[in-house]
Amino acid sequence: MAGMNFHEAFLDELRDAYDAEKQLVKVLPKMAKAADDEELQSAFESHLKETRGHVEALEQVFASLNEKPVGKHCEGIAGIINEGAAAIEAGFDEPTLDACLIAGGQRAEHYEIAAYGSLIVWARTLGYDAAVELLERVLDEEKSADRILTELAEGGINERAAQGVEAEEEAETSSPSRNEAGPMHSSRTTKSAKR
């Protein structure tokens, strides 16, 4: 009995990636809304536009292969999304939630980077030149989104989350009269700072 061939395996992975992008189109607005840092909100909103473009690019890949664009439920991205939803519901303080949103976003990006890397190599091996070009563009955008999230994390979001821990530890070890200075503040713009 013959199993699936390499072309069919490629289509299976392509369907998985297509579903992953469609799931992310639904969740990125929730991540943007949950983010306190305005630059992080903007990054999620910008990547939402890119992700819609990824859906279109994958539809073009399907078309180049004379295949109908159909998704196959992507369990991997669904698990990452569920972890992110749990973080949003966990009740973290705003800077910590922003750090958790970045971590979840990067998990999704790394999953996609691995998937697109494999798809590109397989498409190149199969001689699907049009697919390679489209998939390389998507991969570049996924890598860029990951870099942006790293820059935001290292550019102050993780530090603000850590300052909250330091302030709590200081409050626990200080008497009320000695702890009047309050937590340290960042110059980054957040929703909570505008309230």
- Domains of the chain, each with CATH number or no CATH: 6-170+187-194 (1.20.1260.10)
The string of pLDDT tens digits covering residues 13-44 is 999 999 999 999 999 999 999 999 999 999 99
Average pLDDT over residues 112-135: 98
Residue 53 structure tokens: 């473009």
The whole-model pTM stands at 0.85
Average pLDDT of the chain to the nearest whole number = 90
The string of pLDDT tens digits covering residues 140-190 is 999 999 999 999 999 999 999 999 776 666 667 765 554 444 444 445 566
